[in-house]
Amino acid sequence: MTESFESLLERLHYRFSEPDLLEEALTHRSVSERNNERLEFLGDSILNFVIASELFVLLPNETEGGLSRMRASLVNRESLAAIARQLDLGEHLRLGSGELKSGGRRRESILSDALEGVMGAVYLDGGYEASRALILRLFHERLRTLPSAQELKDPKTRLQEYLQSTGKPLPLYEVTAIAGKAHEQVFRVECSVDGVPTVTRGEAGSRRGAEQEAARVMLDKLRCGQGRR
């Protein structure tokens, strides 16, 4: 095990009996056919089970839908990449020259996949309890500060529920512009509600994202009374 891996092991609080597993977990497919994709598959399954099991115990009165939203808020590319950055995982990745030049050490998809690969490697090396302990250490703060199930509903859902509760019709979303190249498009969307003079706008890299932003702004304005005549 190299000295650079030693620093990572200290942050993981885990010692491998088979160090090659860690090396494989940190190897991107751009380097070798022996890479972290299979370990990522395994780690993803273990991670989802451990978090689901923990939420089931922590939230005994939560519905299935609420538990699903809670898990999704914890287990996603953004949160995994953030944890990977805290571990400085990017500095230990084995990447091909193309990925290195394009900033692969900082890319969310590569970081999150590698972290799941590490979880899979720990499972193979030390068993379920070792992998569970690692996951709970990494997610400790996030599990300690869980948001409410209502907060986790997306803005479009929250806006719809608010309008239904106040007797207003459902919102309408209209794409007003699409700019940029095919792989870097920016969508602009307007959200309107019949009988409400306010029209709100959202902009994002996807139509859904732009709709969510427009819905969020509309909901904020309605709650503040700015959408009333």
- 113-135 pLDDT, tens digit each: 999 999 999 999 999 999 999 99
* 73 shares its domain with 161: no
Q: Among the options 24, 99, 113, 116, which is catalytic?
A: 116
228 belongs to a structural domain: no
* 53 shares its domain with 142: yes
| Final residue in a domain of this structure, among 93, 127, 146 | 146
Give me the number of domains the chain comprises.
2
The pLDDT > 90 percentage for the chain reads 78
Q: 125 catalytic, yes or no?
A: no
* 64 shares its domain with 165: no
How confident is the model over 59-86, as a mean pLDDT? 93
Q: 129 catalytic, yes or no?
A: no
Q: Among the options 44, 125, 211, 213, which is catalytic?
A: 44
* 177 shares its domain with 120: no
Q: How confident is the model at residue 228 (pLDDT cuts 50, 70, 90)?
A: very low
What is the pTM for the complete model shown? 0.72
229 belongs to a structural domain: no
* 87 shares its domain with 172: no
Q: How confident is the model at residue 5 (pLDDT cuts 50, 70, 90)?
A: confident
| Final residue in a domain of this structure, among 146, 181, 204 | 146
| Final residue in a domain of this structure, among 96, 128, 146 | 146
CATH number at residue 167: 3.30.160.20
Closest to 58 in 3D by CA, of 134, 138, 143, 141 = 143
Domain that holds residue 164: 155-223
- Which residue type does 210 have? A
Q: How confident is the model at residue 2 (pLDDT cuts 50, 70, 90)?
A: low
26 within 8 A of 92, measured Cβ to Cβ = yes
